[in-house]
C-alpha cells in the first residue's frame, strides 16, 4: 500500500529537524510504524528516497533494531524483559503466564489483532525488575498475575496507567510519539520513585560526590 501524502509530509517535517538528513531515519521509521503498523517495503522505499540513501541501507537499520517490526503487531504490543536480572527475578515466569493467557509465542499477534507478545533482552529498567512494557510504556515490578491482569483490563477496554509515563494508548500512538516526542505527554505520570533515587539519596547522606575532571577517583 502506498504511503499517504500526510505521512510523507510528516516525514519531510522530521527531516528538517536534523542538520544531517540521514540522522532522521530512526524517527522516520517510527513514523512509518505509526501509520502502517509495521515497517513496510513502501515505507522503506519512501525513507530511502527522501534521504537519498539506498533501500538496502534503510533495511539494514530497520532489521538491526528490534523495535522496528517487519510484520504486523497487535493493537497493544506486550514486551517482557527476560535478560539476566529480570529473568532471575521472575521475567521468564511473567512471559510464560502471558504466553499462556494470549496463546501466542515470541513476536506473534493473537488472532483478533488485539495483542502481540515479545521476549525482550533488556529494557534498561533493572531497578524495577522484572519489567514489561505495553506499547513501550513501563509496567514495573510485575508478577505473572499482575501482568495478566494488565492484559485482562486492556481487553475489557479499561484505562491502564503505566508505572512511569502516560496512560496506555496503543502501539501506533506510542510509535507516533517516538517520531514526534513533543506531544505534550512528557509531564504525565511518575518519572522517578524511591527505588530509582536510592543511590543518590545514599550518596547525599554519606557526603559522596563524583570526582572532578582531572582528579583521581
End-to-end CA distance of the chain: 58
Statement to judge: residues 86 and 145 lie in one domain: yes
Same domain, yes or no: 48 and 111: no
Greater confidence (214 vs 11) lies with 11
Evaluate whether residue 212 is within a structural domain: no
Q: pLDDT for 38-47, tens place per residue?
A: 999 999 999 9
Instruction: Indicate whether 50 belongs to any domain.
Output: yes
Last-in-domain residue among 152, 171, 190: 171
| CATH code for position 119 | 3.40.30.10
Assess whether 93 and 157 both reside in one domain: yes
Question: What is the rounded average pLDDT for all residues in the chain?
Answer: 93
Number of folded domains in the chain?
2
What confidence tens digit (pLDDT) does each residue in 80-96 have?
999 999 999 999 999 99
With a pLDDT cut of 70, the percent of the chain lying above it is 98
User: Which pLDDT value is given to residue 216?
Assistant: 58
37 within domain boundaries: yes
Q: Which pLDDT value is given to residue 1?
A: 67
Q: Domain check: are 13 and 58 in the same one?
A: yes
Residue pLDDT, tens place only, 52-77: 999 999 999 999 999 999 999 999 99
106 and 44 inside one domain: no
Pair 152, 87 in one domain = yes
Residue 150 belongs to what domain range? Answer: 76-171
What CATH number has the domain bearing residue 53?
A: 1.10.10
Is the same domain home to 91 and 152? Answer: yes
The answer on 167 and 80 residing in a single domain is yes
Residue 214 pLDDT level (bands cut at 50, 70, 90):
low
pLDDT tens per residue across span 13-28: 999 999 999 999 999 9
Is 105 a member of any domain?
yes
In a domain, 176, yes or no: no
93 with 59, same domain: the answer is no
The model's pLDDT over 111-158, given as tens digits with 9 standing for 90+, comes to: 999 999 999 999 989 999 999 999 999 999 999 999 999 999 999 999
Residue 43 sits at the vertex; the CA angle it makes with 39 and 46, to the nearest 5 degrees, is 155
Question: 72 is written with which cell numbers?
Answer: 504486523
- pTM exceeds 0.85: yes
Give the total residue count for the chain. 217
Same domain, residue pair 108 and 164: yes
- Which H/E stretch holds residue 76? strand 76-81
Over pLDDT 90: what percentage of the chain?
Answer: 82
Residue 194: pLDDT band with limits 50, 70, 90: confident
- The reply to whether 189 falls in a domain is no
Tell which residue, 191, 190, 94, has the closest CA to residue 151: 94
Domain check: are 80 and 165 in the same one? yes
- Considering the domain boundaries, does residue 96 fall inside one? yes
| CA neighbor of 123 nearest in space, from 159, 152, 87 | 87
Amino acid at each position: 500500500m502506498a504511503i499517504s501524502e500526510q505521512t510523507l509530509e510528516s516525514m519531510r517535517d522530521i527531516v528538517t529537524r536534523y542538520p544531517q538528513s540521514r540522522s532522521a531515519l530512526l524517527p522516520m521509521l517510527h513514523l512509518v510504524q505509526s501509520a502502517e503498523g509495521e515497517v513496510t517495503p513502501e515505507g522503506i522505499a519512501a525513507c530511502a528516497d527522501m534521504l537519498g540513501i539506498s533501500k538496502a541501507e534503510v533495511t539494514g537499520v530497520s532489521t538491526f533494531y528490534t523495535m522496528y517490526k517487519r510484520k504486523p503487531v497487535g493493537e497493544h504490543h506486550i514486551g517482557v524483559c527476560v535478560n539476566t536480572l529480570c529473568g532471575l527475578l521472575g521475567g521468564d515466569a511473567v512471559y510464560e503466564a502471558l504466553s499462556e493467557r494470549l496463546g501466542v509465542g515470541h513476536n506473534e499477534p493473537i488472532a483478533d489483532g488485539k495483542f502481540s507478545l515479545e521476549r525482550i533482552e533488556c529494557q534498561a529498567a533493572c531497578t524495577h525488575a522484572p519489567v514489561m512494557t505495553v506499547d513501550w510504556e513501563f509496567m514495573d515490578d510485575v508478577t505473572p498475575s499482575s501482568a495478566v491482569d494488565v492484559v485482562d483490563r486492556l481487553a475489557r477496554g479499561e484505562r491502564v496507567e503505566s508505572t512511569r509515563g502516560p496512560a496506555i494508548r496503543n502501539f501506533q500512538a506510542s510509535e507516533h510519539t517516538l517520531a514526534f516526542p513533543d506531544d505534550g505527554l512528557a509531564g504525565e505520570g511518575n518519572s522517578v520513585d524511591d527505588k530509582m533515587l536510592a543511590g543518590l539519596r545514599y550518596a547525599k547522606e554519606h557526603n559522596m560526590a563524583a570526582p572532578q575532571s582531572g582528579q583521581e577517583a
